């Protein structure tokens, strides 16, 4: 499997989106009829602590077993999967190449010259490229987007999928998957996102990803090492609980009455500050944009009661929780009630599942 081809297209129609994140393995399969999408299957399988750390699979076997359980629970027969690697493990570069080269010649030339573009030995990376079109400056050359990913990043994931009997037919980048998922929340944007600046914030266990769209196109992305794990650790420390106890109590709301003042308010203030800081980076990086019309919160931290009100008040930006499946039919096999509880954590999985409908093959 070539990383590059798989990154940009060429897939079969039946495909599972599989997000291997730090707290769980998340699987979703979508269907499409006309322009209506449906959820055909889904499962979330928690992962043991420290099995996925900084996007590295420290134990592909344990991850593989969790994927296997997720596939069984989802009850799907589909065995092709789209997975993602973190943007931080991928280097992308825009290069120019002669417009009259064939795809094969181009690949050969890129391989031969790769060391000019990539700071790693060629045999340690998976390479992919996509011709974007004629260069605006010089019509005799085309703009080519080159992407290189450390092989180990892909290989760890393939090893885990292998244990679960899945074939990775698409390897995407997380930020692209999140961008693809944004089409499922346009119903929550003013004017469907047209001409608007919308910030989507995915607050997971260890990472907060900000994606800013303008007129439905990505204009900015930023990852920060901040997430719900921090809140769990604060709870552990304050009430003397184990990590598991604290995580469970947090999700079930089973904490002392003083939890809000003791712990939660500090965490929320921190979170608001982190998001605000990322937005300030965006504003300073982009002179055309000075404000955000709408914020959409996703990830497990979006389940913290009252989080959207808190963020809205602090940042003075209209804020809602992501409902990516609100306009989809949900098969009974996909357990609609449970799905509704998990939906904000499934943005990346949904963006990956969307690759089943690639137009490029």
Ligand X SMILES: Nc1ncnc2c1ncn2[C@@H]1O[C@H](COP(=O)(O)OP(=O)(O)OP(=O)(O)O)[C@@H](O)[C@H]1O
The interface partner of residue 324, options being Mg ion, ligand X, none and the CB cut-off 5 to 8 Å by kind, is none
Q: Any contact of residue 227 with ligand X (CB under 6 A)?
A: yes
Instruction: Report strand pairing: 319-321 vs 329-330.
Output: unpaired
Q: Any contact of residue 197 with ligand X (CB under 6 A)?
A: no
Return d(Cα 200, Cα 215) in angstroms, integer: 13
The interface partner of residue 214, options being Mg ion, ligand X, none and the CB cut-off 5 to 8 Å by kind, is none
> Per CB under 6 A, which region of 84-92, 139-147, 246-254, 315-323 contacts ligand X?
246-254
Return d(Cα 166, Cα 68) in angstroms, integer: 9
Q: Any contact of residue 251 with ligand X (CB under 6 A)?
A: yes
The interface partner of residue 126, options being Mg ion, ligand X, none and the CB cut-off 5 to 8 Å by kind, is none
The interface partner of residue 301, options being Mg ion, ligand X, none and the CB cut-off 5 to 8 Å by kind, is ligand X
Instruction: Confirm if 121 and 163 have CB atoms less than 8 A apart.
Output: no
Among candidate residues 29, 28, 67, 27, the one with its CA nearest the CA of residue 47? 67
Q: How far is the CB of 307 from ligand X (least distance, A)?
A: 8
Q: How far is the CB of 206 from ligand X (least distance, A)?
A: 4
> Per CB under 6 A, which region of 186-194, 295-303, 308-316, 320-328 contacts ligand X?
295-303
168 vs 204, beta carbon nearer Mg ion: 204
- 36-46, strands of its sheet edge to edge: 167-173, 80-85, 16-20, 24-33, 36-46, 329-330
Q: How far is the CB of 292 from ligand X (least distance, A)?
A: 21
| Beta strands per DSSP E along the chain | 16-20, 24-33, 36-46, 52-53, 56-57, 80-85, 90-98, 125-134, 141-150, 167-173, 197-203, 208-214, 217-224, 294-298, 319-321, 329-330
- Near ligand X by CB under 6 A: residue from 300, 324, 339, 353: 300
- What element of type H or E holds 247? helix 243-252
- Near ligand X by CB under 6 A: residue from 21, 169, 188, 197: 21
Q: Any contact of residue 207 with ligand X (CB under 6 A)?
A: yes
DSSP 291: -
Contacting residues toward Mg ion, per CB under 5 A: 21, 204
Q: How far is the CB of 52 from Mg ion (least distance, A)?
A: 10
Residue 109 CB neighbours (<10 A) = 14
Applying CB under 6 A, the residues found at the interface with ligand X are: 21-24, 204-207, 227-229, 232, 247, 250-251, 299-301, 303-304, 345
């Amino acid at each position: 499997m070539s990383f590059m081809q798989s990154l940009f297209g060429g897939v079969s129609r039946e495909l599972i989106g599989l997000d291997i994140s730090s707290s769980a393995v998340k699987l979703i399969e979508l269907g499409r009829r006309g322009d209506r999408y449906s959820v055909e299957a889904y499962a979330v399988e928690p992962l043991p602590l420290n099995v996925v750390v900084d996007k590295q699979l420290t134990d592909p076997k344990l991850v593989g077993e969790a994927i296997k359980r997720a596939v069984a629970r989802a009850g799907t027969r589909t065995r092709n999967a789209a997975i993602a690697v973190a943007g931080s493990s991928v280097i992308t570069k825009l290069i120019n190449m002669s417009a009259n080269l064939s795809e094969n010649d181009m690949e050969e030339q890129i391989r031969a010259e790769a060391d000019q573009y990539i700071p790693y030995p060629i045999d340690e990376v998976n390479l992919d490229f996509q011709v974007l079109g004629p260069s605006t400056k010089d019509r005799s050359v085309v703009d080519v987007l080159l992407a290189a990913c450390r092989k180990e990043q892909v290989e760890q994931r393939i090893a885990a999928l292998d244990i679960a009997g899945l074939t990775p037919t698409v390897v995407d980048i997380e930020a692209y998957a999140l961008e693809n998922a944004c089409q499922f929340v346009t119903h929550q944007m003013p004017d469907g996102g047209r001409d608007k600046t919308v910030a989507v914030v995915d607050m997971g266990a260890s990472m907060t990803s900000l994606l800013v769209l303008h007129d439905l196109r990505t204009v900015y992305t930023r990852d920060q090492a901040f997430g719900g794990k921090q809140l769990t650790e604060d709870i552990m420390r304050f009430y003397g609980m184990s990590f598991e106890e604290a995580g469970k109590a947090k999700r079930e709301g089973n904490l002392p009455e003083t939890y809000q003042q003791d712990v939660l308010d500090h965490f929320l203030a921190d979170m608001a500050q982190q998001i605000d800081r990322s937005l300030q980076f965006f504003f300073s990086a982009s002179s055309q944009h000075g404000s955000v019309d709408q914020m959409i919160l996703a990830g497990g931290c979006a389940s913290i009661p009252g989080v959207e009100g808190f963020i809205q008040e602090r940042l003075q930006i209209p804020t809602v929780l992501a409902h990516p499946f609100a306009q989809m039919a949900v098969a009974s096999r996909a357990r609609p009630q449970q799905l509704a509880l998990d939906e904000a954590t499934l943005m990346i999985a949904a963006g990956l599942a969307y690759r089943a409908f690639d137009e490029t093959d």
